[in-house]
Amino acid sequence: MPTFNDILVLLPEFYLVAAACVLLLADAFMKPEQRWSLHWLSIVVLLMAGFLVIAGQPDVTVTAFGDMFIRDQTSEILKVFALLCTVLVFIYARPYLLDRKQFVGEFYTLMIFATIGVMLLVSAGNLVMIYLGLELLTLSSYALVALNRDSPLSSESAIKYFVLGALSSGMLLYGMSMVYGATGTLDLAQLHAAVPQSAMPHLLVFGLIFMLVGIAFKLGAAPFHMWIPDVYQGASTPVTTFIASTSKLAAFGMAWRLLETGLGDLSQHWQPMLAVIAVLSMAIGNLVAIVQTNLKRMLAYSTISHMGYLLMGLVNAGPEGYSAAMFYAISYALMSTVAFGVILALARAGFECEEIADLKGLNQRSPWFAALMALAMFSLAGVPPLFGFYAKYLVLQAAIDAHMLWLALAGAVFAIIGLYYYLHVVKVMYFDKAEEGGADQSAPDMSMRVVLSLNALALLVLGVYWGPLLGWCRHSFGLG
């Protein structure tokens, strides 16, 4: 029987489920002219959830429901940033949705349900819980991608996403079943203890490989990256923003739970595999991004390369590496919200601002948005003193500490290649002449302008003052 204590541990999640149901009902009974309030209600709901997460933060790791659910510092940090990113998505999405008559309640409730999935996933203490959290996140995401019903591109990408996603979930589940067969437990902590004594080490490694496929798919790491470009391009930009930010935090959380909490003793097996996946992702992501003309597609390939860097941190297989990877996930989430946020800000009715050419001469028409985008691009490229540089620096350090100098060198080489396409965007905005029909100063929404500016300036501020965030990340993994 669940005790009151169990419920208290899960309070933010329970609250969010209840709130999401209330929002769904409210949406159903609301008059159309009152529907605008849904937007602010959702934001308040998420902020409240963030408050509950922070206020109820336990000093020590606590578990609930028979170790199904773990509430520790790592999950708390990931949850706070996941909620923050979803709030950002809501704020950036509103003008876009209103312009396109897509402002519907489902968007908000589905996003909140997906965020609940993220929260469960990063707190999972059991393979079943991981699967449940993951499915809640991905099923909501499929629906979100398909939300723009009238667009064939959207539907196509939703189907692609669904088919490939189902396949990878199957892989993950298959791997989990093998691990269960080899150890006889689904509980991550018990799994960790059972791995060294397992009578079937080969089966374990087989299971591990299938699970890695699932993880790589969720991260969007090569060679399981095929869905990323299509979904990023096909989904409406707010949904892409969500997939590129909140979802990535979840993917990191899942990878860490499975690989360290569960299968930490198999690290000598998964380290080289992840290293190969990391190099492949950096290579494919950075090389293919160069030839893209569609901004969203380019950012999709850039995501693939960034996931390669994130994996570089995981390859370290120690607390230093995990904290570096978590720092990377957070920094990537904040950078991608800026990049997609600027796209959303510049989009207007009948104009998606999806092509890189649409940004031509942006510095003449809207110097402020051009500056924000330039900040995001330099940060994504990893140029100091911006946030993204420190994330890259930490994962490179993690690779060197793991005695994988070759991996760090590969990361360095691909960072140079990646630099080109980020600079290309800056070049288009600053050095090219503006053309008719390109992006101009839209985004009449004041809250969006302010939040987006703060979001982008945070990249600069965190570039100078990144110590506290790194301190939290390290502390959550037991480092000083």
Pick 282 or 396: Cβ nearer other proteins? 396
In the region spanning residues 362 to 381, those forming contacts with other proteins, defined by CB under 8 A, are: 363, 367, 378
- Asked if 389 touches other proteins (CB under 8 A), the answer is yes
Pick 64 or 399: Cβ nearer other proteins? 399
Q: How far is the CB of 93 from other proteins (least distance, A)?
A: 30
Pick 160 or 475: Cβ nearer other proteins? 475
Q: Are 109 and 27 in contact (CB under 8 A)?
A: yes
Tell me the H-state helices in 383-431: 387-401, 405-431
- Asked if 433 touches other proteins (CB under 8 A), the answer is no
- Asked if 441 touches other proteins (CB under 8 A), the answer is no
Q: How far is the CB of 353 from other proteins (least distance, A)?
A: 22
Q: Are 298 and 356 in contact (CB under 8 A)?
A: yes
Q: Are 308 and 329 in contact (CB under 8 A)?
A: no
Query: Which position among 400, 441, 447, 457 is part of the footprint of other proteins (CB under 8 A)?
Result: 400
- Asked if 396 touches other proteins (CB under 8 A), the answer is yes
**Closest by CA position to 17, among listed 116, 111, 105, 90:** 116
Q: How far is the CB of 401 from other proteins (least distance, A)?
A: 6
Distances (CA, A) of 358 to 84, 297, 365, 436, 438: 29, 14, 12, 9, 5
- Asked if 415 touches other proteins (CB under 8 A), the answer is yes
- Asked if 319 touches other proteins (CB under 8 A), the answer is no
- Asked if 397 touches other proteins (CB under 8 A), the answer is yes
Pick 207 or 382: Cβ nearer other proteins? 382
For residue 236, what are the β-bridge partners? Answer: none
Q: How far apart are CA 452 and CA 331, in angstroms?
A: 15
Please provide the DSSP assignment of 231-252 as one string. HHHHS-HHHHHHHHTHHHHHHH
Q: How far apart are CA 243 and CA 336, in angstroms?
A: 10
- Asked if 328 touches other proteins (CB under 8 A), the answer is no
Q: How far apart are CA 283 and CA 280, in angstroms?
A: 5
- Asked if 383 touches other proteins (CB under 8 A), the answer is yes
Q: How far is the CB of 378 from other proteins (least distance, A)?
A: 6
264, 78, 283, 319 alpha-carbon torsion, rounded to 10°: -40
Q: How far is the CB of 273 from other proteins (least distance, A)?
A: 23
Which residues, 6 or more positions from 395, have their beta carbon under 8 angstroms from its beta carbon? 309, 310, 312, 313, 321, 324, 325, 328, 411
Pick 90 or 389: Cβ nearer other proteins? 389
- Asked if 329 touches other proteins (CB under 8 A), the answer is no
Distance of CA 194 to the CA centre of its chain: 31
Three-class secondary structure of residue 288 per DSSP: helix
Query: Which position among 58, 66, 467, 478 is part of the footprint of other proteins (CB under 8 A)?
Result: 467
Q: How far apart are CA 129 and CA 68, in angstroms?
A: 6
Query: Which position among 290, 412, 450, 461 is part of the footprint of other proteins (CB under 8 A)?
Result: 412
Query: Which position among 203, 430, 441, 447 is part of the footprint of other proteins (CB under 8 A)?
Result: 430
Binding residues for other proteins, per CB under 8 A?
363, 367, 378, 383-385, 389, 393, 396-397, 400-401, 405, 408-409, 412, 415-416, 419-420, 423-424, 426-427, 430-431, 466-467, 470-471, 474, 479-480
